[in-house]
Structure 1
Amino acid sequence: MAEESTLGQPPRNRLPTLSEVLHRYTLSPVDLYSFYIYMRDQQRSVDYLDFWLDVSQHMSLCRHYVRELRRSVLVATPELEKSGSKRSSAALENIGDIPLVEAGPSGFRTGNVDTTEKDADQRLSAFLRSEGHTSQASPQGSMDSARKVPSNERPPRPSFMNSSPDTKNDSNSPSHTVARSDIRRSAEKILYTYLLQNSEREIILPEDMASSITEMVESDGRDDPEVFDVAKDYVFQAMERDAFPGFLRAKALENLVPPSIVARLTLALTCFGGGFWAAFFVILTDAPRNIRCWVILPFAIASYFLASYQYKIDPVMALAGFSECTFMNWLLIREPYVQLLLTKRATAALLISVLLTAALSILFILVPGKMI
């Protein structure tokens, strides 16, 4: 029985979209964890993905804050009435219920994220703007939290270890009480980490876009999620255009990482060299055919690794249901459609290696020998 994907959805008969991967609706090897490793090790642009995830986490932080505030209003505490917060209470009532789900790209709300959620997010941002921030976080403290770490040494984000989008366990949904200063600090951290010129993990955005965000956060004092919407959509489209097709090719049609591919080519050439040397040796020494049959071994290994290099797939591991995440680190293939694609390609690679082995072995076993 085919394993169902996350959220109880039936298995897809297609490759996933970037939005589905970012929302953790996919399974390995096309899940968010694998995409993060690909962006870090092969694309060398993990800062863009981290920016997108941090902005999504900022949105979740805002949702959590407003939900807590709205809950305190609904229980009608006397302190709220005494503090003259009737206007805020009415504004909170107009927001409606805020779903605690991971925020997606603001301009690409399809499927499980409908226009109702988009409207709720807009009302949330409007409420945060009208409420204003009550405390200022230290810019220096935000910048100190973004110390430079080489992207290839950066470990995966802890939230990736749990691919389930269950909001109760989602690291983007804080389990503690959220203060308004936390939202301000989160917005400043995103600004000082990714958007300011010469920041530690600066991402390349259009100059007017980065300047506009900087002005809204620093000059206007805004920290609502809509501040980062344009940049978030820009980064989403850049990843979808430049990185995601390569990721799908590397994980849905291949199951090896570049170091393993190069290693297989090296092994194939080495084994071919040894196989041809052994084959010519047994021919020129007129060895009997039962001795010549041993040339099958180096030719079989060489043909297997050559086909593995050509298809960028390890046929045996693919048929066993494993995909390489990092060098010699294998993950179980849990996405049914990807398993189907890899099984077809693994079968073709295995067939080619068998035919090549048979052709070379028969040639050197049956050719007449000559004693020198």
Structure 2
Amino acid sequence: MADNAPANPPPQSDFPRNRLPTLFEVLSRRTLPPVDLFSFYIYMRDQQRSVDYLDFWLDVAQHMSLCRHYVRELRRSVLVGTPDLDRASKRSSGILEGLGDLSYSAPGPSMYATEKEKDQDARMSAFLREDRELHDSPASSDARQNRPSTNLSTPRELNTDSTSPPHTVARQDIRASAEKILYTFLLPGAEREITLPGSITQDVTTAIEEFGRDDPEVFDVAKDYVFQAMERDAFPGFLRMKALGNLIPPTMVMRLIIGLVSMFGGFWAAFILIFLDKSRMERLWLILPFTIGVYCLASYQYCLDPILALIGLSEYTPFNFSRMREPYVRKLLARRSVMVLAVTALVDAALCVLFILVPGKRL
């Protein structure tokens, strides 16, 4: 996974939900801005400073999809028809036929998978382990030299009468994907090492380097651990920022500074005008600094710019906005915006009435 946010087609919400989304729905690309995967990636990168965990999750999910694609294409080739198979290949063929149609549903943590998906993933991992042993065995090498069409380990070598498109995933691609994840995220001193319990890292390293495994089950424990860590430590803050507000910390700090300066300027001008015994008409200008100050301070306090929220905009990087498309979030922010505007108007009116109507006295 590159350092940049994932570039994918705009997701579509799979059902109208009258609640905030879960982390699994966000990672599965089943949510819309401002609580989509792109926004979560930006949050993990800029605010949480732990985007490597999300990249690890996305790479493991991509590895799972790669394995499914490989097995799906291989199963299709086997079902179309192959020559006589040796006993090991027949076992592999039996596993393939028992898999059924592998869907391309988004890979997720084991606690969210249905029993059917768990069974399919377990069968797929079992096939990939047997397929690796078949591919690595000396007998299999001899068989491939004598009968190239009987090898089940490399889809590109299968000769079938299928009219389906050529295979795009080879067995070595799966191996390379597993090693890339290991060397990028898990080994001590890796380029983007993530912090996991030592036992998990050791088990994954041993399985890949010593036993040569590359099936998806190798990463199951690490994937679930990372998911739970993001769900516990990062996702609540993401929802607070994106579903209950529409501003990011840098611009919130800027609004705090502008609000404090405006309030200071308003109080300073108010006392000057009072002690110079200026008319109430002249003191009406105090509405300007007080309104700006109260509005900016309220935006900082609630992490929300109510005007931008009412027109459906949410900030994802400084002064860059995206349109809110998640219906429940938009309704929620609209209600909060009305409340923030009411508080702003009430405080602003109180300050203006106090300093405009109070009698002046020239010192």
> Which TM-score tier does this pair reach, normalised by the shorter chain?
0.7 to 0.9
The answer to whether the 8 A contact 2:185-2:194 is kept is yes
In the other structure, the counterpart of 1:242 is 233
- The number of aligned residues is 326
1:18 paired with 2:23, answer: yes
Structure 1 residue 85: Cα displacement: 3.7
Aligned equivalents of 2:167, 2:38: Cα separation in 1: 25
1:98 paired with 2:102, answer: yes
Alignment partner of 1:274 out of 265, 274, 289:
265
TM-score, normalisation: structure 2? 0.85
Residues 87, 44 of structure 1: CA spacing in aligned structure 2 closer, same or farther, 3 A cutoff?
same
The answer to whether the 8 A contact 1:54-1:190 is kept is yes
Amino acid at match of 2:22: T
Structure 1 residue 7: Cα displacement: 5.7
Aligned equivalents of 1:258, 1:175: Cα separation in 2: 49
Amino acid at match of 2:124: L
In the other structure, the counterpart of 2:188 is 197
Aligned equivalents of 1:77, 1:214: Cα separation in 2: 36
Which residues of structure 1 form unaligned runs of 5+? 137-173
The answer to whether the 8 A contact 1:133-1:221 is kept is no
Aligned equivalents of 2:230, 2:167: Cα separation in 1: 32
In the other structure, the counterpart of 2:119 is 119
User: Which runs of structure 1 show a deviation greater than 2 angstroms over 4 or more consecutive aligned residues?
Assistant: 5-10, 80-91, 133-136
Residues 290, 184 of structure 1: CA spacing in aligned structure 2 closer, same or farther, 3 A cutoff?
same
1:69 paired with 2:95, answer: no
Aligned equivalents of 1:313, 1:58: Cα separation in 2: 38
1:212 paired with 2:217, answer: no
TM-score, normalisation: structure 1? 0.83
Aligned equivalents of 1:87, 1:284: Cα separation in 2: 96
In the other structure, the counterpart of 1:88 is 92
Q: Deviations over 1:55-101 (max 9, x none)?
A: 111000000000111111122144x7599843332221122221122
- Counting only pairs closer than 5 Å after superposition, residues 1-372 of structure 1 correspond to structure 2 as 9-78=14-83, 81=85, 85-109=89-113, 114-132=114-132, 177-372=168-363
Aligned equivalents of 2:188, 2:286: Cα separation in 1: 62
CA-based RMSD of the aligned residues comes to: 2.1
Counterpart of 1:100 in 2: which secondary structure?
Answer: coil
Q: Identity percentage over the alignment?
A: 62
Larger Rg: 2
The answer to whether the 8 A contact 1:133-1:184 is kept is no
The answer to whether the 8 A contact 1:135-1:180 is kept is no
Residues 39, 8 of structure 1: CA spacing in aligned structure 2 closer, same or farther, 3 A cutoff?
closer
Aligned equivalents of 1:273, 1:124: Cα separation in 2: 67
Which residues of structure 2 form unaligned runs of 5+? 1-9, 137-164
Amino acid at match of 1:54: D
